[in-house]
Every structure is written in structure tokens, then in C-alpha cells.
Amino acid sequence: MIAALRHKAEDQLRKQRRNQQSEVTGQSPTAAERTLHELQVHQIQLEMQNTELKEARDWMEGLVEKYTDLYDFAPVGYFSLDEQGRIQEVNLTGAAMLGVERVRLANGRFSRFVAPASQPDFQAFLKRVFAGTGQEVCDLAMIKEDATDFSARFRGTAAISAREARKWCRVSVSDITASKQAEDTQRRLEVLAASNQKLEQEIVRRKMGEASLKKSEQEQRRLLEEAHQLQGQLRLLSHQILQAQEDERKRISRELHDEIAQTLTGINLRLAGLKAGTSVHAKGLQNKITSTQRLVEKSVEIVHRFARELRPSVLDDLGLIPALHAFVKTFAKETKLQVRLRVFAGVEQLDIAKRTVLYRVAQEALTNVARHARAKQVELCIEQLATAVRLKIKDNGRSFSVQRTLQAKKNGRLGLLGMRERVEMVGGCFAIKSAPGHGTTIEVQVPFSSASKPRKSPPSRRPA
């Protein structure tokens, strides 16, 4: 390389002299000239060498600039750490990643940027790096200068300094916060997908349950309809039983009145005839006949009373008003209660079934007053409404819980239910209210028209 450089310098010197035309043709150069020639060649050689060195320096500076750009502005942080974890070198990306100026990181401990929970992992990572020959990788939780946390992935390899014998390592640090968040999001999506699958299974199960419930509801509706039908059949049967009872009472009453009472009356007449035909000496026989006659009269009276209670003939023969007057007169005499009766004449326009219902309700109501109410007076009123007849029975006795009495399974006041059934049987309405200090009031409304259909009675009002 030196010979080539000298050769180039001599060629350049000859060109210069040729231009100056200072050479003497055919003359030998002197020692001074040769010395001068050498000096000139050496000068030219130094100039050329300086030029090459300058070019090499410029090229090296360009390489250093490129290396610096690649190192400082790399997408990951580069750190050079010694065995104690002190920072020897760091690029701009690494300093920006930690949020600290690069000059402040020199000889500082890298561990102060590692989260407390990751400190053991960081120390173990350094030991593996300095102990091994390959690349070590680990993920750590980091904390910036401003206390912002992020996740980082470390890749480290051991190295030996050319200037010193001490060990150091190269560590690249990548911010994997986004990937960690993506992984967390993916895990959450997987959990959510599993939850959605469970939810879909639960939806399917609930749909099956709803279908089963709908089927059960349909079955319940069917059973309810059957229950309503059975209830209607029972109500019809109850009406038929009440009607049959009334017919049977009527038949028994007629038999008592027409046959047994007439037979007893005939016996009584014959005993009277025998009594009149006896002589004075047969006074003992007369007394016996008289005693027997009294028993027969008492029997006739009992038969008539039973007949009236079963079915008063006056109700069929004369009508509702005379039957009520006769019953009230007997009732007041036996119970010592004051009974006021008001009836309008048009009530006799009702058919026999409705008049019988009104009579039975009045009979049962007055009987209940005598048994339970401890009242002193009772008002019984039958009045005309626009399209119906209203029977109202009010006493000044003690009150009771209507709702509890009607709903009780065993209460000894089955007459209330019987009255309601009788009234509804002819298409009427039955109501009862009882309040402390106001006694008890029973109200019945029966339609005039025989074509009226039975309807359910309004609920009885509770005491105020």
C-alpha cells in the first residue's frame, strides 16, 4: 500500500515538473535535487494519505451516525447492565420507556423501575443471564418514573467488555402492555363465550321449563274448568236438593194436616160422642175419655205446628202475607221479641217458588235472631223496587264476623248458606252485614220476572 502510494506521488510530481518545464534534458540530477525530489514525493504522499484518512473518517462518522440512529431509535429499549443490575448504557427508546432522561439513568439501578411483585423474578433473570450462554426471556411488571405501570418482556444475553474484564449483559426491553391487554381481553372473551354458552343452555332449560309450565297451566285451566263445571253441577244439585226438601215438606205437611190431623180429629169427635152418651154412674169413664180427648187435642195441635213448620198450608192457600203474619205472631209470642212487619200487597204477584224462598229466609233469619243475637226487637220489611222485591230483616242484637262465619267449615250457622242457596236458586241476590252497635241486617232481592237467570250474590260486607 505504501509503494503504491509512493508510485502515485512520483507520477504526480513528474506531471508537475513537466508542466513547469524545469528539467534539463540529458543532465543527471544532483544530490540536492534528489533530496528535493524525495521531499516533494513525501509531501505529496502525506497529502494523499491525509485525504484518504479524511475520507475514512467521514465514512466512519456516517457509520457511527447510522448506528446511533439504529440504537437510539430502535423500537425496543436496549440496556447494558452489570452483575449488580446497574445501567451502563441505554438507548433513547429505553429511557423514554422508563420516563427518565438518559443522562439520569447512568450507573443507576434498574431494579427501581421493577414492580415489587416482580423483583424476585428480575433477580432470578439476571442470575440466569450471567450464568448461561444462551438468551434468557421473562415478562415483568414495570413502573415508570411517574408511577405509571406497564408490562415488559426482557431478552438478555451475557457479554464481556473489551476494555475491562468485568461481566455485563445486553438486555432488550419490549412494552407488551397492549399484548397483555389483548391476552386478558381474549381470556375475558373466552370466559364470556363460556358464560354465553351456559346462558344459552340456561335459556334452553328455561324455555323447556316455560313449555312445561304452559302445559301445566293448560292442565290447570282444564282442571279449573272441570272444577267450575263440577261446582255448577253441585250448585244445581244443591238447588235440586232444596227443592226436593221443600216438596217433601209440602207432602209431609199435607199428610199431617189432611190425614193424621183429620184422623185425630175424628177420634176426638167420637170420644166426645161417647162422653155425651155415658150415664151419671159412669163418671170415671167420662174422666178417662176427657183426659184422652185432651191428649188428642194436644196431638192435633202438635201436628198442626209441625205441619206449619214443614210447610204452612196458609202459604199455598192464602199467600205469603197471611203466612208471614201467622208466623210472626207465633214467633213473637214464643220468644217475647218485638217484631215489626211491613209488607206491600204486590208481593203476592211473585210465583210460589219465590214466595216460598222469601218465607223460608224470613223464618230462618228470625230463628237465628232468637238463638244467637240476644236482640230485643226485629224489623221485617218487604218492599217493592223497580224490577225486584226486597226483603230486609234487621235486629238490634250483637254482631258477628260475617266473612269468618261464611268461610268456616264448622260453625253451627249453616242456615246462612242455606238462605243464600235458596235466594240464588230463584235468581236473587243475598247480602248480610253485621257491625258492633248496629246489629245484623239481612237483605234479599228477588226479581219479578220469572225468566231472570240466577246470578251470584254480592259479597257480604264486613263490620265497619
Mean pLDDT, rounded, for 218-230: 85
Q: Does pLDDT of 328 surpass 60? A: yes
Mean pLDDT, rounded, for 398-418: 69
Please, which pLDDT band fits residue 424 given cuts at 50, 70 and 90?
confident
Q: Are the CB atoms for 463 and 401 separated by under 8 Å?
A: yes
pLDDT tens digits, residue range 144-153?
A: 999 999 999 9
Residues with Cβ within 8 Å of 456's Cβ and at least 6 positions away in sequence, in order, are 424
Mean pLDDT, rounded, for 300-310: 66
Q: Does pLDDT of 11 surpass 60? A: yes
Task: Classify residue 239 by burial, with Cβ atoms within 10 Å: 0-12, 13-18, 19+.
Answer: middle
Nearest of 172, 165, 163, 166 to residue 82 by alpha carbon: 166
Cα–Cα distance measured from residue 428 to residue 440, given in angstroms and rounded to the nearest whole number: 20
Q: Are the CB atoms for 356 and 425 separated by under 8 Å?
A: no
Mean pLDDT, rounded, for 368-383: 91
Nearest of 432, 308, 300, 299 to residue 361 by alpha carbon: 432
Q: Are the CB atoms for 148 and 99 separated by under 8 Å?
A: yes
Mean pLDDT, rounded, for 133-140: 88
Question: Residue 84 is which amino acid?
Answer: Q
Whether pTM exceeds 0.95: no
Please, which pLDDT band fits residue 49 given cuts at 50, 70 and 90?
confident
Residue extents of the structural domains in the chain: 2-16+35-66, 77-175, 319-464
Class in CATH terms, 77-175: alpha beta
Its CATH architecture, for the domain 319-464, is: 2-Layer Sandwich (3.30)
Mean pLDDT, rounded, for 81-90: 90
Q: Which residue has the higher pLDDT, 245 or 187?
A: 187
What's the pLDDT at 242? 67
